[in-house]
Each structure stands twice: as structure tokens, then as C-alpha cells.
């Protein structure tokens, strides 16, 4: 029986759906997918159109609303919203080091997780649409970041389920390999580093001092993880958000404490780093990250730890060489590296599983270029010109490849514009879709 809850300005209803692990074998193993229905107070019985939200990630659960907050406030003016915990996340059947261990060894775990990509997420959504709305009714979709990738998959394989589509920071390259993605990403990350150091020049020396310390003596994080110099560099993931540079600066400025033997990394700093680097709450982000680019027509040899391989083409990210040469130590970005499965306790048991997924060569294609070229679903997309996570050139090429897609190109917001704009990004897209701008 569904549970109904009331929070300031909203009414939520819990839904749990049984879906096939493998949609090509509908009578086989079943897993659960959870979704939270949200409607504005007083409108519970109104015949509102539905908007399903596809969260960024991969491996990210939907937001937990405390009221009419962020973009949800604007959405509830027009829609009944469904916040989907994509398979493996949140209250859906979880996929973590604890639960995956019950499935057997690394090969069994990798075979299981092969069903957790965008194609399966879209088929889950279609099954849920049929059960909630009926087969003859459509809904709208809002895809943020990886959720935008999923939206393109939705438009490729089940456009008959959609009234309209909104995409924010998630127009992926339809034919871009993982190597293409990272080869384009590293220079953008260099630019974000330059912007950060221009804004906070005092951080150049602070970062060099921390990196030098960690190069000699890796630190133990409160959760048992190991903070190496490479792990420290991965804090650069923060630089892709609108307030990320400032947040990184404030984290760095409390890095040191005077202990009995002199200066040491402070507990405050290490706790802050732990909160940023641990994958305990979302291990699928690391395990499946490169697989979201896997398509047999594009990556014939699999993804093969692409971020690690391509990094060698950009020696400016070698922290030890930077320390020797006296140049700024650069942070990395949205990259997953195999060593993370050694340094993070939440990932260590999944190391062999991740290796098998990286070596997998038979990933089905996620996009249908011919069907996208003939698209009839209204699509609008926010393309953030300075997006660190998604390449603008890829996004614009995809915008041209999807018939009828209207892009809004802006540098007013970063990748997290949907979340931090107070509804302005979504409002603009809704008005675009409805012909108001």
C-alpha cells in the first residue's frame, strides 16, 4: 500500500514497482524500482500532466524534497512530478559492496550490473508509465546530466511515451567514445584550474604544500580511506559547480593544524575530504561511470579505463612533476581511475567487478541516430557553455542531430544550474517548450 506524506507545500506518495532485471527476459529475475510522486498541496486530485525526473549520475538517487524547493517549486506549478530512484539507487533494490556480494563473484556481479545502464532505466520508466498512467497516456521527462543521456536514449527507443523532453547539462555525444570524452575533458579541467587559481592565487602554494606532504606520506581518512596525492587531486570534481571553486578554497584554507610534532593535516580538512571523495553513498557512480559511454558501434574494444589511459596524454596533471618543476598542481575532474578501488573502502570489494566492466566489449548501443533525426517529440535543452562535465561541442552536435531540438546556450549557469537557479533554468525551458519564448 502506498504511503502518503505531507511536507511544507507538497504531498508525496511512495510507489514501488517490480521490474525485470533483464527486460529481454520479462519472466526472469525481478528487482524493485522506487519512485516518489510529488504534487502541490491542494492539487492532489487535479488532472495534472506528469513529469518524470531522471537524476544525474550514473548511480544517483533522486533528490529528497523537503518542500517546494529548488527546481521542484517551478515544476509543481504545472506538473505532477515523479522522482525516480534509478535501479540500484536509493530505495530501489540497492547495488553496493554489501548487496552485490550476495550475487557471487566478480563475474556474476559484472553480469548483473550490465543491466544498470540507460537502456534499462528507460525500459523501467516505460513499464512504470504503463502502470501509473496507462499505455495510452504520455508524460514529460526532465533529465539532468546523466539523466539527459537517459533522455536521449528514451527518445531513441521509446519516444511514443513522451509528450515533451527537457534536458539540462546532458546532451551527450551520440558517437563519442570514452576516449573522445576524456580527451576533450582534460583541457576543460585545465581551464577550470586556471580560473580557480586566478580567483584564489593563495591556493597555489596551499595545494603544493598539501600535495608535497601527501606524496611523501598519504593520510588516512576518517572512514578508513587512503588520501594519496592523486586522490587529493580528484577534489577537482568540485570545480564544475557554480559555487565549487569557493567551496574548494574554504576546504583548503583549513588544511593544517599544529599537532605535537608540528604541522599536520587537520581533522576538519580530512573530514571534509572524506565527505567529498567517499563513494559509500553512491558506489555505482564509480563502478559504472565509463560504461555510460560504451556502445559496440563506437567502442569496439570496450572503455578500458579510458580516463586513466588518456590522462597520460596530459602530463600537466602529474602532481609529482609539478612539485619538481615549481608549477601549480592541477586538480582533475569527473574522472574515475582504477586506483580509487584501492583507496576507498566502499569500492575495494568491487575492484575485480569494475575491471571486468571496463574490459567488456559488447555494450549495446544507447542511441538511435536515425530515429533521433526523425524525432517528433518537442525537446528543449540547456547547454552550459562553460560546462566542465559535458563537452559543449558534443552537445551542440547532438542538438543539430535531434530533429526539432531547441538548445538554450548560456554561460550564466554551470552544470548544476537546474539545482541552484531557484527554478529559473526550468522556467526558461518550459516557456521554450510551450512557445512562450
**In the structure grid, which three cell numbers stand for residue 298, read together?**
563506437
Contacts 24+ apart (CB under 8 A), 46-50: 46/80, 48/78, 48/79, 48/80, 49/78, 49/79, 49/80, 49/139, 49/140, 49/163, 50/79, 50/80, 50/81, 50/82, 50/132, 50/133, 50/139, 50/140
Sign of CA dihedral 272, 195, 337, 318: negative
278: number of Cβ within 10 Å? 19
SS3 label, residue 29: coil
Listed in sequence order, the DSSP H helices in 167-318 are 178-199, 202-216, 229-233, 244-252, 267-277, 283-287, 306-311
147 vs 334: CA distance, rounded Å = 16
The distance in angstroms from the start CA to the end CA of the chain is: 43
As annotated, the active-site residues are 145, 362, 415
Work out the number of other CB atoms within 10 angstroms of the CB of residue 148: 27
The single-letter DSSP state of residue 413 is: S
For the chain, the residue count is 437
Q: Using CA atoms, how far apart are residues 165 and 45, in angstroms rounded to an integer? A: 24
By three-state DSSP, how is residue 309 classified? Answer: helix
Q: CA 330, 334, 340: angle at the middle one, nearest 5?
A: 85
Q: How far apart are CA 160 and CA 137, in angstroms?
A: 9
C-alpha cell at position 256 = 593544517
Q: Which residues pair with 12 in a beta bridge?
A: 5, 38
Break the chain down into helix, strand, coil percent, rounded to 5: 45, 15, 40
CA distance 142 to 215: 43
Amino acid at each position: 500500500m502506498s504511503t502518503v506524506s505531507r511536507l511544507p507545500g507538497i504531498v508525496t506518495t511512495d510507489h514501488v514497482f517490480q521490474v525485470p532485471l533483464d527486460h529481454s527476459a520479462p519472466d526472469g529475475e525481478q528487482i524493485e524500482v522506487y519512485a516518489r510522486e510529488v504534487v502541490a498541496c491542494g492539487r492532489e486530485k487535479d488532472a495534472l500532466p506528469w513529469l518524470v525526473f531522471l537524476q544525474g549520475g550514473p548511480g544517483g538517487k533522486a533528490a529528497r524534497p523537503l518542500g517546494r524547493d529548488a527546481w521542484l517549486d517551478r515544476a509543481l506549478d504545472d506538473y505532477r512530478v515523479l522522482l525516480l530512484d534509478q535501479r540500484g539507487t536509493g530505495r530501489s533494490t540497492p547495488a553496493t559492496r554489501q548487496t552485490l556480494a550476495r550475487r557471487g563473484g566478480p563475474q556474476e556481479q559484472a553480469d548483473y550490473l550490465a543491466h544498470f545502464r540507460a537502456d534499462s532505466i528507460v525500459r523501467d520508466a516505460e513499464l512504470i508509465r504503463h502502470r501509473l498512467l496507462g499505455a495510452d497516456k504520455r508524460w514529460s521527462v526532465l533529465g539532468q546530466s546523466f539523466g539527459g543521456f537517459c533522455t536521449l536514449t528514451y527518445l531513441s527507443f521509446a519516444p511514443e511515451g513522451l509528450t515533451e523532453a527537457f534536458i539540462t547539462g546532458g546532451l551527450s555525444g551520440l558517437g563519442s567514445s570514452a576516449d573522445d570524452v576524456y580527451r576533450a575533458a582534460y583541457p576543460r579541467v585545465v581551464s577550470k584550474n586556471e580560473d580557480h587559481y586566478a580567483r584564489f592565487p593563495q591556493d597555489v602554494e596551499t595545494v603544493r604544500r598539501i600535495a608535497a606532504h601527501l606524496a611523501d606520506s598519504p593520510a588516512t581518512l576518517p572512514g578508513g580511506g587512503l588520501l594519496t596525492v592523486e586522490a587529493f587531486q580528484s577534489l577537482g570534481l568540485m570545480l564544475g559547480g557554480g559555487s565549487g571553486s569557493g567551496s574548494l578554497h574554504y576546504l583548503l584554507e583549513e588544511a593544517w593544524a599544529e599537532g605535537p610534532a608540528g604541522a599536520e593535516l587537520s581533522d576538519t580538512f580530512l573530514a571534509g575530504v572524506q565527505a567529498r571523495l567517499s563513494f559509500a553513498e553512491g558506489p555505482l557512480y564509480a563502478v559504472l561511470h565509463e560504461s555510460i559511454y560504451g556502445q559496440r558501434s563506437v567502442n569496439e574494444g570496450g572503455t578500458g579505463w579510458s580516463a586513466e589511459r588518456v590522462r597520460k596524454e596530459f602530463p600537466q596533471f602529474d602532481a609529482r612533476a609539478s612539485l619538481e618543476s615549481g608549477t601549480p598542481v592541477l586538480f582533475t575532474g569527473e574522472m574515475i581511475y582504477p586506483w580509487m578501488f584501492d583507496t576507498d573502502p566502499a569500492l575495494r570489494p568491487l575492484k575485480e567487478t569494475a575491471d571486468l566492466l571496463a574490459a567488456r566489449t559488447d555494450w549495446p548501443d544507447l542511441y538511435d541516430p536515425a530515429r533521433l533525426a526523425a524525432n517528433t517529440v518537442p525537446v528543449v535543452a540547456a547547454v552550459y557553455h562553460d560546462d566542465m562535465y559535458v563537452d559543449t561541442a558534443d552537445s551542440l552536435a547532438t542538438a543539430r542531430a535531434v530533429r526539432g531540438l531547441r538548445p538554450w546556450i548560456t554561460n550564466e549557469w554551470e552544470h548544476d544550474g537546474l539545482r541552484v537557479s531557484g527554478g529559473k533554468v526550468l522556467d526558461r525551458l518550459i516557456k521554450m517548450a510551450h512557445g512562450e519564448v
